[in-house]
């Protein structure tokens, strides 16, 4: 497996951000994997899930959002974060020409990816979005407004969600996904937003569910 470290230019104001690619020897597709609001691309969860995906022939490109690169605590505003997503996807598409490209991420990163894609109606570059814990609402503030933009996305969507996720009340998320003909919801019983569920290691299961979904949408050969 190849490990590639690189910088991706976002804009003159935001500067460049770090990215890291895990490229398995046999690669069926590439997943642009954005991090959550509280931890960057080198968080152990991000690294371990990328390794588990590589074992299933799925390459990953992890990248930092500008605020994380600059060691700031406050996440970027949506236009800046969405621009970073766009640049990371563009970089992956140009580096791995002909390789099916998927995108998404952990929590905030997945939502910024889907917000960007909801505005790119003519983009066929991204074959699907995989959310690793979609943040439907803030903790203690249930609502579904954050899901409104999902109606504008034509690509298949995978929601990997813990049933004890404080940022996604399952009684709200289930009808949201049911109303989207292109959505697949996979629930992890007892898991919280960080996919902690007692002593059970869910990372291999997350990777396998994503692998099976990618195969099911038809852009990757078994």
pLDDT tens sequence across 29-65: 999 999 999 999 999 999 999 999 999 999 999 999 9
Nearest CA to 206 out of 51, 49, 58, 100 is that of: 49
pLDDT tens sequence across 77-135: 999 999 999 999 999 999 999 999 999 999 999 999 999 999 986 667 999 999 999 99
Give residue 122's pLDDT: 60
Distance (Å, whole) CA 218 – CA 44 = 30
**What single-letter DSSP state applies at residue 113?**
H
Residues 6+ apart with CB under 8 A from 62: 19, 20, 21, 22, 33, 34, 35, 41, 42, 46, 47, 50
Distance (Å, whole) CA 78 – CA 95 = 26
Could you give all domains of the chain from N- to C-terminal order, each with its CATH number? 2-216 (3.40.50.1820)
Tell me: pLDDT of 205 over 80: yes
Count of other CB atoms within 10 angstroms of residue 8: 18
Q: What's the pTM value of the predicted model, to 2 decimals?
A: 0.96
Tell me: pLDDT of 220 over 80: no
């Amino acid at each position: 497996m190849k490990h590639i470290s690189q910088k991706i230019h976002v804009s003159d104001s935001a500067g460049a951000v770090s990215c890291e690619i895990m490229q398995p020897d046999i690669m069926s597709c590439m997943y642009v994997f954005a991090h959550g609001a509280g931890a960057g691309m080198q968080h152990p969860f991000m690294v371990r899930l990328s390794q588990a995906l590589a074992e299933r022939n799925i390459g990953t490109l992890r990248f930092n959002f500008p605020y994380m690169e600059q060691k700031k605590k406050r996440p970027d505003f949506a236009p800046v974060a969405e621009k970073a997503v766009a640049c990371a996807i563009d970089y992956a598409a140009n580096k791995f020409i002909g390789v099916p490209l998927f995108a998404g991420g952990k929590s905030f990163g997945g939502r910024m990816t889907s917000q960007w894609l909801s505005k790119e109606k003519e983009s066929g570059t991204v074959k699907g979005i995989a959310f690793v814990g979609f943040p439907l609402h803030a903790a203690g503030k249930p609502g579904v407004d954050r899901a409104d933009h999902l109606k504008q996305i034509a690509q298949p969507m995978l929601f990997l969600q813990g049933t004890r996720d404080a940022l996604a009340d399952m009684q709200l998320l289930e009808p949201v996904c049911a109303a989207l003909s292109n959505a697949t919801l996979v629930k992890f019983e007892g898991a919280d937003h960080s996919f902690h569920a007692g002593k059970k290691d869910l990372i291999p299961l997350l990777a396998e569910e994503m692998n099976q979904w990618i195969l099911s949408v038809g852009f990757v050969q078994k």
